[in-house]
Structure 1
Amino acid sequence: MTHPEPVLKMYKYHVWANGVIIDRLKELPQHIYHKDIQSGFSSVSKVLSHIYLTDYAWFDIISGNSMNEAMASSDQLREVVEKKSIEEMKKIFLDLSERNKALLNSQEDMDKVIVVDNPYAGLLETSISESVLHVVTHGSYHRGNIATMLRQMGHTSVMQDFGLYLYSK
């Protein structure tokens, strides 16, 4: 049985890294956040929204909802989230992380099997801990997209890797 602490530590890193990139975005000229650019995503705001909505959906699944229910809930939020300012994003990320940390703290067994019926990939038997690690690695991947997009627009990003997180604690 996986103890919740290592999984919670990785999730706390994810929350910290999101905060680091959001704080960097707040330092940049405001128009950068929603600016249309040619990249994997059409704007930094769409990438950050994607990270948020994916976190939202996966924690819905961890809570016991089906993937279809979780995707429908996050799809309903998409348009509103994509239009938010970077300051508003900081707040909703914080609110979501507090909710998610409470959920993880309430889990007695991180190895508990959950069945995910992904409409694109089919059935997957996974665990709560693997689902959280997916959220963490997914966020890291897309924060990397943001770093690349910022460079394309002539701005620097900021370090937010796990090693730096360990040093910062």
Structure 2
Amino acid sequence: METIRNMYEHLNWSNQRILETLQNMDVENKQVNNLFSHILFAEQVWFTRLKGSDTSELPIWAEVSLETCVALANQNNQHFKEFLSGLTNHALEQIVSYRNSKGIEFNNSVRDILTHVTIHGQYHRGQINLLLRANETEPVNVDFITFRR
């Protein structure tokens, strides 16, 4: 559980660093904003699935404002923090049944879902950093080891 909790603290720290960079940019980059909002929407979708609720009406890709991203990042952080606070090692092995965005049913453990959410976000943060560099903006250091230091 300690590793999972550390991964989610890192996830929130990374989201906040990306947000800060996007808020301080002189010119908005829609592609970067859309990738970042996708990370946040995916977090929301997976949290909703973990709670056993239907996600068919939740967006995965949507063009939203940075203010919406701020609110969503804070909401996601609070939801996952509360979820993880009551989670046991035994509960990590429970199977969650859900339908993906195409309506296909899948079953995965809580552990696998939680791990996926953190890796998925980091993958897209790498894409964001690539786009930032291409637009002559300093990439955001979101390395786990930097977080731990």
Identity within the alignment, %:
23
- 1:89 is aligned to 69
* Secondary structure in structure 2 of the residue aligned to 1:72: coil
Q: 2: distance between equivalents of 1:12 and 1:165?
A: 9
> Is residue 143 of structure 2 the alignment partner of residue 166 of structure 1?
no
TM-score normalised to the size of structure 1? 0.77
Q: 1: distance between equivalents of 2:103 and 2:127?
A: 24
> Is residue 137 of structure 2 the alignment partner of residue 155 of structure 1?
yes
- 2:37 is aligned to 49
* Secondary structure in structure 2 of the residue aligned to 1:73: coil
Q: 2: distance between equivalents of 1:134 and 1:100?
A: 14
Return the letter of the residue paired with 1:55: E
What is the CA deviation profile of residues 88-112 of structure 1, one whole-angstrom value per residue up to 9, with x for unaligned ones? 4223201221122102222331111
Return the letter of the residue paired with 1:110: L
> Is residue 55 of structure 2 the alignment partner of residue 70 of structure 1?
yes
Shift of 1:129: 1.5
> Is residue 88 of structure 2 the alignment partner of residue 103 of structure 1?
no
* Secondary structure in structure 1 of the residue aligned to 2:113: helix
Return the letter of the residue paired with 2:87: Q
- Larger RCO (alpha carbons 8 Å, 6+ apart): 1
> Is residue 32 of structure 2 the alignment partner of residue 32 of structure 1?
no
Contact 1:59 1:100 in 2 (8 A): yes
Call closer, same or farther: CA 1:72–1:88 in 2, change over 3 Å. Answer: closer
Q: Which has the higher helix share?
A: 1
- 1:131 is aligned to 113
TM-score normalised to the size of structure 2? 0.86
- Root-mean-square deviation (Å): 2.1
Q: Show structure 2 runs of 5+ residues with no match.
A: none
Shift of 1:115: 2.3
Number of residues of Structure 1 aligned to a counterpart in Structure 2: 147
Q: Show structure 1 runs of 5+ residues with no match.
A: 35-42
- 2:6 is aligned to 9
Call closer, same or farther: CA 1:9–1:103 in 2, change over 3 Å. Answer: same
